[in-house]
Structure 1
Amino acid sequence: MSRPETQKRANLRDVARHAQVSVATVSRVLNKSQLVTKDTRDRVNRAIETLNFVPSAAARTLNSGNSRTIGALVPTLDHSIFARYLDALESRLSQHGYALIVAVTGGDPEEEERKAFGLLDLGVEGLLVSGRAHTAGFDTLIDRFRVPTLITSYYDPEARYPTIGYDNATIAANAFEFLRDLGHRSFAIVHGPLDVNDRFVARIDAIRDLAHDSEVTFRSVSMDVAGGANAVKELAAQSRLPTAILCLSDVQALGAMFELTRLGLVVPDDISVMGFDNLEWSAVSEPSMTSIKLPAAEMGAKASDAIVGWLQSGQRASPLALEADIVIRDSTRPLSKG
């Protein structure tokens, strides 16, 4: 049995040949130019219908100079906070008539630069990227392609690009002060690698500034459940656990609670644990997890409005600070006196 032939998709030249006109004339018809006679327009339209011709996105971009696409660079898709952000971003961009293309960088600045070039080479009209720190090559790309570029997950009105996100230093300071107000003076701060994440650097620096009258240990581990568990193992090996553990991600905090339970300790009776991100399962963990609620969905919507507004008006977007809240649950408690 022979296979049916795969018919090649008609292109602009096919339409022109069928209608016996030039490619430029077909383009004028597609762009509704008044320079084409009714007879020629009807002939071209009949050719388009006969050949089932659909203009490609690339062709529309060449004709109009607009791709109606926005690129977003994110470090990972493993954490649901980025899923919430991208979901809101894509939904709002769709309302504006734009499509979203996502590239994952793995938190590697060099990879971010390569992925940025790939998106820009595809013709995205705007770019959204997580964090303030980037390679010099990234900045050169933006200067070369001259596309509106926004920073998310970070607020800094003095940054090279407009920022839409949260003040990481203030949020971390508020979390630390919350635990201090509960009476804690012995802390472990669990975080991810600092060499590729400027958000963590800002949070750690803020906590260091407040730690002058407290005993604070910092643990850099992987950004996953195993990392949180390993941090507790390291602390236990020193035979001196703190009274409170502040993890800069919920997944690390979950790993910390798992390991504390394995060691026979009770959260929060023996030790308080606090997370960051307020992931959807933090409310139903055992115990439920005190965490920082980051406005990921709001950030996606605001970033979409800002980048589209910039494209439509030609005016640079303004920095925007978003608020984060402490969601108090069962994994933390006041430290008993005496």
Structure 2
Amino acid sequence: MAKGKAERRRANLRDVATAANVSVATVSRVLNAPGTVAETTRKRVEEAMTSLRWVPSAAARAINSGRTRFIGALVPTLVHDIYARVLGSLESQLALHRLSLVVATTQDDPEIEARKARGLIDIGAEGLIVSGMTHAQDFYDLIERGAIPVVATSCHDPRYFLPTVGYDNAGAARAALDHLRSLGHRRILVVHGPSANNDRTRARIAGIIDHDPQAELSFLESPLSIGGGCETVRGIDWSERKWTACLCLSDVIATGVLFELQRQGVSVPSQVSVIGTDDLPGSAHLCPELTTVHLPVSRMGLAAADAIAGWVETQETPQDRLLDFDLIVRASTAPAAQDGS
């Protein structure tokens, strides 16, 4: 474009309506409910969009319909694969409902989550997906005042005032402990992520405390990262054989623990068995392959999408949804040595 020449104004919704010789409301129906528009009219509107090089936006869709057709998701982080898998299935399933997804991260901080939630609602989020059941009062006030549909994921509790879509975190931890106990392990180190703002982690810890009176459990908190898992068990003298197994309440932490044990020359699983929780895609490819509890996070994303989509479309609160977990036995666990049982 020559310097100084005025740029051509971008077309808008009304320009499309004028070019197609229809009302703005008709253009809006073509965008939001094309099945309600006669085929000849719909084609005329689509041809006008093409000739004007007009791409519909959320704002344009909201005109007359009063809807933005997007859902906000608030997740602790995008660093870990587990959240990426949830968001991937959530987005693909929402698309089937003709809904879009906008994501915000919270750093697992309820105050940050409340601010991010307000931002999403301010730009038109019709509903929210959140992780867990630990949230700030400002968040609760916000969604109550605005009557915002919200579905809590990664947990299941019918007593919670929001619908939950997820799994039994306490049961998943017990399944891991039961597996180690079945192999004869009694003295077990439990390594878990931060629990202050994470009810899922607290549920897993609570699920195994006093679950088996014969088990001697010791607990260490670790940053939720591979490096955190390494640092947390660094310096432990495993040659004392105080613990014969390490139960990690996250595969990310378990990966770090496994790496650090190998760095120290501790053999897994002949000296120390290691089990995780999550079943991340990479866990099956570690050396040795990690025994873990498979959490159905992809199916959870699909179910959460259906739940929130149904809620925003019909204004009917969805039912809680409990998804099954599975113990995946691989090469990182083995029977305890006789002198360590």
TM-score normalised per structure 1: 0.87
| AA matched with 1:298 | R
Distance change in 2, residues 1:197/1:47 (3 Å): closer
Question: SS in structure 2 opposite 1:103?
Answer: strand
Is structure 2 residue 28 aligned with structure 1 residue 27? no
Cα deviation 1:164-193 (Å, max 9, x = unaligned): 000111111111111111111101111111
Q: Which residue of 1 aligns with 2:200?
A: 199
After TM superposition, the structure 1 = structure 2 runs for residues 225-264 of structure 1, keeping only pairs within 5 Å, are 225-236=226-237, 241-264=242-265
After TM superposition, the structure 1 = structure 2 runs for residues 178-189 of structure 1, keeping only pairs within 5 Å, are 178-189=179-190
| AA matched with 2:24 | S
Shift of 1:312: 2.3
Is structure 2 residue 14 aligned with structure 1 residue 9? no
| AA matched with 1:139 | Y
- Flag structure 2 segments of 5+ consecutive residues without an equivalent: 31-44
For residues 227 and 49 of structure 1, the distance between their equivalents in structure 2, rounded to whole angstroms, comes to 53
Q: Which residue of 1 aligns with 2:324?
A: 323
| AA matched with 1:30 | V
Distance change in 2, residues 1:14/1:325 (3 Å): closer
Question: Which sits farther off after the overlay, 264-273 or 173-182?
Answer: 173-182
Shift of 1:235: 3.2
For residues 32 and 335 of structure 1, the distance between their equivalents in structure 2, rounded to whole angstroms, comes to 66
Is structure 2 residue 155 aligned with structure 1 residue 150? no
Give the root-mean-square deviation of aligned CA atoms: 2.8
For residues 255 and 49 of structure 2, the distance between their equivalents in structure 1, rounded to whole angstroms, comes to 59
Shift of 1:306: 1.1
Shift of 1:209: 2.5
For residues 280 and 53 of structure 1, the distance between their equivalents in structure 2, rounded to whole angstroms, comes to 41
Shift of 1:196: 1.6
Question: SS in structure 2 opposite 1:222?
Answer: coil
Question: SS in structure 2 opposite 1:305?
Answer: helix
Runs of 4+ with >6 A deviation: 13-16, 44-50
Q: Which residue of 2 aligns with 1:296?
A: 297
Distance change in 2, residues 1:235/1:68 (3 Å): same
Is structure 2 residue 114 aligned with structure 1 residue 117? no
Shift of 1:236: 2.7
Distance change in 2, residues 1:268/1:144 (3 Å): same
> Given that residues 13 and 27 in structure 2 are in contact (C-alpha distance below 8 angstroms), is that contact kept between their aligned partners in structure 1?
no
> Given that residues 235 and 241 in structure 1 are in contact (C-alpha distance below 8 angstroms), is that contact kept between their aligned partners in structure 2?
no
For residues 188 and 242 of structure 1, the distance between their equivalents in structure 2, rounded to whole angstroms, comes to 6
TM-score normalised per structure 2: 0.87
Q: Which residue of 1 aligns with 2:67?
A: 66
Identity %: 46
Shift of 1:27: 3.0
Shift of 1:52: 5.0
Shift of 1:207: 1.2
Question: SS in structure 1 opposite 2:210?
Answer: helix
For residues 215 and 79 of structure 1, the distance between their equivalents in structure 2, rounded to whole angstroms, comes to 31
Question: SS in structure 2 opposite 1:273?
Answer: strand
